[in-house]
Chain A
């Protein structure tokens, strides 16, 4: 089954404020979309709405395929060594070959270090490894470049390109420029209420 992600006429309200309205998007297999905008315009809210974690104020979302999410929250146990913290998710995701993702993201040397000692960039790479190991068609990435050095940023762009080339979908919210296949951009400011 082909992966698919569509949002129709979405509005998002946080508290008393309407952040955006009338936002529609459609992604087919192989599409990448850069959600751009300044801080506070609703990029993260849009990602969480697409993930089904937040109810849109109006509008509908429909997806075909499993969703993988990376946001600023790591969901790894801070006191456990990285290898063990990731192993829990590998067991849940039924992943038997985690070595490739660790290689790609240069995590091998960090596996024995407790998560709380990792730097921001290292934590981000750990979250990416979990995403890769899950092997799901729809990627929702919220500020994936935060805290990454130039080399790691390039490898994120390469991973997204590879994912889309393999028939995946990637929606990337980022206030920084990011090179995505197809170069589609959605500026949330255009839909500001």
Chain B
């Protein structure tokens, strides 16, 4: 248990904005930039913006979640950190569970915060903003999980980062469909489905990522 806490402290130190390993605040700026550019592109029709803005925020959030993937696993794999952890009896699964938690903590809370100015830029109603926030809260763990698994799978490849981005998109489609789908429904069923997909992905991702790290040793 104490090993997990030590690992989490290191991972957070690397991944939080200001740390040396993550994307820092770039994903957030990217996210806000999309919300800022969209009204320029479709024109200042307030009704249209309010109707489509929630979906735009979802797409922006999905793409922003791809940005921090490049260094999420690859740099530690290259540096042999997972080998040294393995020798200390710390399984790749535990290391990946901790990394998933740190990755989510490093990007999701700030993304939720940035959703407020983004919603204001797009003129979303309070009701829609609430649904977007709840949806992102339910969906971002799943996005983080898909990101981690794909980052681990592509970590040992040359040019893996670009491939990781492409691979995340189809895997994240279910989260997007239900998460953004909640915007058009008065009942919480779509939010619950988003949360359940997230839960499943969070449960599976550490094992997939750990298997990928072990497989990378054989190459």
Taking CB atoms and an 8 Å cut-off, the chain A residues in 34-59 that contact chain B are 48, 51-55
Query: Shortest beta-carbon distance, A64 to chain B, in Å?
Result: 14
Partner of B86, one of A53, A78, A80, A92: A53
Contacting pair B217 A79 (CB below 8 A):
no
Among B76-84, B122-130, B149-157, B166-174, the stretch that binds chain A is B76-84
CB closest chain-B residue, reference A69: B87
Partner of B218, one of A55, A69, A76, A79: A55
Q: A54-B217, A55-B218, A92-B3 in contact; A73/B80 too (CB < 8 A)? A: yes
**Which residues on A sit within 8 Å (CB–CB) of B3?**
92
Partner of A51, one of B78, B81, B87, B90: B87
Q: A51-B87, A54-B218, A69-B84 in contact; A76/B79 too (CB < 8 A)? A: yes
Partner of A75, one of B6, B21, B84, B218: B84
Contacting pair B79 A73 (CB below 8 A):
yes
Residue interface bits B203-219, CB-to-A below 8 A is 1, else 0: 00000000000000110
Determine whether B88 belongs to the interface, using a CB cutoff of 8 Å to chain A. Answer: yes
**Which residues on A sit within 8 Å (CB–CB) of B88?**
66, 92-93
Please, how many residues of chain A have a CB less than 8 angstroms from a CB on the other chain? 24
Contacting pair A77 B87 (CB below 8 A):
no
Contacting pair A68 B87 (CB below 8 A):
yes
Could you say which of B20, B83, B84, B90 has the most chain A C-beta atoms within 10 Å of its C-beta? B84
Contacting pair B87 A67 (CB below 8 A):
yes
**Which residues on B sit within 8 Å (CB–CB) of A77?**
10, 14, 20-21, 79
**A-B contacts at CB below 8 angstroms, number:** 54
Query: Shortest beta-carbon distance, A13 to chain B, in Å?
Result: 10
Contacting pair B217 A53 (CB below 8 A):
yes
Contacting pair B6 A91 (CB below 8 A):
yes
Could you say which of B3, B10, B21, B217 has the most chain A C-beta atoms within 10 Å of its C-beta? B10
**Which residues on B sit within 8 Å (CB–CB) of A51?**
83, 87
**Which residues on A sit within 8 Å (CB–CB) of B78?**
73
CB closest chain-B residue, reference A90: B6
Contacting pair A74 B21 (CB below 8 A):
no
Q: A77-B21, A79-B20 in contact; A52/B86 too (CB < 8 A)? A: yes
Determine whether A89 belongs to the interface, using a CB cutoff of 8 Å to chain B. Answer: yes
CB closest chain-A residue, reference B83: A53
Query: Shortest beta-carbon distance, B63 to chain A, in Å?
Result: 26
Contacting pair B83 A88 (CB below 8 A):
no
Taking CB atoms and an 8 Å cut-off, the chain B residues in 6-64 that contact chain A are 6-7, 10, 14, 20-21
Determine whether A71 belongs to the interface, using a CB cutoff of 8 Å to chain B. Answer: yes
Residue interface bits B63-101, CB-to-A below 8 A is 1, else 0: 000000000000000111101111110100000000000
Contacting pair A75 B81 (CB below 8 A):
yes
Partner of B6, one of A52, A69, A88: A88
Query: Shortest beta-carbon distance, B81 to chain A, in Å?
Result: 5
A73 vs B80: C-alpha distance when bound (angstroms): 5
Query: Shortest beta-carbon distance, A117 to chain B, in Å?
Result: 14
CB closest chain-B residue, reference A74: B79
**Which residues on A sit within 8 Å (CB–CB) of B21?**
77, 79
CB closest chain-B residue, reference A76: B79
Query: Shortest beta-carbon distance, A42 to chain B, in Å?
Result: 15
B residues with CB within 8 A of A? 3, 6-7, 10, 14, 20-21, 78-81, 83-88, 90, 217-218
Beyond the given A66-B87, A71-B83, could you list 11 further A-B residue pairs with CB under 8 A, ordered by the A residue number? Answer: A54-B218, A66-B88, A69-B87, A74-B79, A75-B80, A75-B84, A76-B79, A77-B10, A91-B6, A92-B3, A92-B7
What are 21 residue pairs bridging A and B, where the CB atoms are less than 8 Å apart in the complex? A48-B217, A51-B87, A68-B87, A69-B84, A69-B87, A73-B79, A73-B80, A73-B83, A74-B80, A75-B79, A75-B80, A75-B83, A75-B84, A76-B79, A78-B20, A78-B79, A79-B20, A80-B20, A88-B6, A92-B90, A93-B88
